[in-house]
Amino acid sequence: MKLKLHIWRQKNAATSGKMTSYEMDNVSPDMSFLEMLDVLNEKIIERGEEPVAFEHDCREGICGSCGMMINGMAHGPEKLTTTCQLHMRKFNDGDEITIEPWRAEAFPVIKDLVVDRSSFDRIIASGGYVNVNTGGVPDANAIPIGKKVADYAFNAAACIGCGACVAACPNASAMLFTSAKISHLGSLPQGQVERMDRVINMVSTMDNEGFGGCTNHLECEAACPKGISAEYIAQMNRDMMKATFTVR
């Protein structure tokens, strides 16, 4: 395939960026999107120019670091798919593809397509844990958990923290990410001790990081590569209401 790429290029956080166009020939439909960018970077390097910076790690749809906007869609046109698992067969010969970094005040651009997502780390650090007593390790089945509750917690835990929910939301809200992390632990017996403090602390940190509020567009749910449901936002709101009026 022959493609024309329009890619956001930005030297660093302190400089302004701009869209730069590149022509690609002989793109195999079996390439992943990141493999296509690898080939592009080889050509750019051969010309003695600076390659396009983008994040990646596992390339197996697990780590979430590969996130970018492709033709205005977080991770691209394939539903429930990360950028690294998106293949060029989803595009047509002669297509023009616009590639941008996540757009959010809380995700400042570091370089090109790389953004600083450490705000997510700070949300997790503020409450995404459980306290346990030291000593002997209990048996794995010492605390029976019903399948419905286990499935609910497991689906929330599937969040990979890629930031697609923030990038897709017109308000750059992190409600889906934060609610998934809160609901994962808050639905399990081990997470009940800190449940009220957890929601207060994590929501407060989320707000302090500069993320926007939720106005129920549900773009977050549509863009999530792991299919995290917006029902976790409703659960977080219920917990937040309860925590606000609970004496701790």
Same domain, 39 and 10: yes
pLDDT at 95: 98
Half-sphere exposure of 87 (CA within 13 A, CB side): 6
Determine the residue type at 24: M
Pairing, β 3-9 against β 18-24 = antiparallel
> Would you state the structure tokens that stand for residue 15, as one six-digit string?
């400089």
Same domain, 195 and 164: yes
Same domain, 92 and 170: no
pLDDT at 246: 81
The residue behind tokens 């395939």 is: 1
Determine the residue type at 14: A
User: In whole angstroms, what is the distance from residue 167 CA to residue 106 CA?
Assistant: 10
Q: DSSP letter at 99?
A: E
pLDDT at 76: 97
Domain end residue (candidates: 72, 91, 110): 110
What are the mean pLDDT values of the chain's consecutive 10-residue runs (248 residues total)? 98 96 97 98 97 97 96 97 97 98 96 98 94 72 89 97 97 98 94 94 97 96 97 97 84
Count of the separate structural domains present in the chain: 2
User: Could you tell me the CA-to-CA distances from 182 to 121, 157, 163 in Å, in that order?
Assistant: 14, 9, 16
Same domain, 237 and 133: yes
| % helix, strand, coil for the chain, step of 5 | 35, 15, 50
Domain end residue (candidates: 110, 137, 170): 110
pLDDT at 132: 72
User: In whole angstroms, what is the distance from residue 202 CA to residue 132 CA?
Assistant: 19
Do 91 and 1 form a contact (C-beta atoms < 8 A)? Answer: yes
pLDDT at 247: 63
Same domain, 122 and 78: no
Pairing, β 3-9 against β 96-100 = parallel
The residue behind tokens 């399990």 is: 188
User: In whole angstroms, what is the distance from residue 22 CA to residue 164 CA?
Assistant: 25
Burial (Cβ within 10 Å: 0-12, 13-18, ≥19) of residue 179: buried
Same domain, 89 and 122: no
Same domain, 164 and 71: no
74: domain CATH number?
A: 3.10.20.30
Same domain, 160 and 124: yes
pLDDT at 140: 66
Do 174 and 165 form a contact (C-beta atoms < 8 A)? Answer: yes
Same domain, 64 and 165: no
Question: Which residues are CB-neighbours of 113 under 8 A, at least 6 positions away?
Answer: 7, 8, 52, 53, 54, 55, 68, 99, 100, 101
Same domain, 240 and 122: yes
The closest of 76, 69, 72, 82 to 114, measured between CA atoms, is 69
User: In whole angstroms, what is the distance from residue 17 CA to residue 111 CA?
Assistant: 9
Same domain, 134 and 64: no
Range of the domain at 138: 118-244
pLDDT at 133: 72
The closest of 23, 57, 56 to 40, measured between CA atoms, is 23
Do 136 and 180 form a contact (C-beta atoms < 8 A)? Answer: no
Same domain, 58 and 129: no
Domain end residue (candidates: 94, 110, 126): 110
224: domain CATH number?
A: 1.10.1060.10
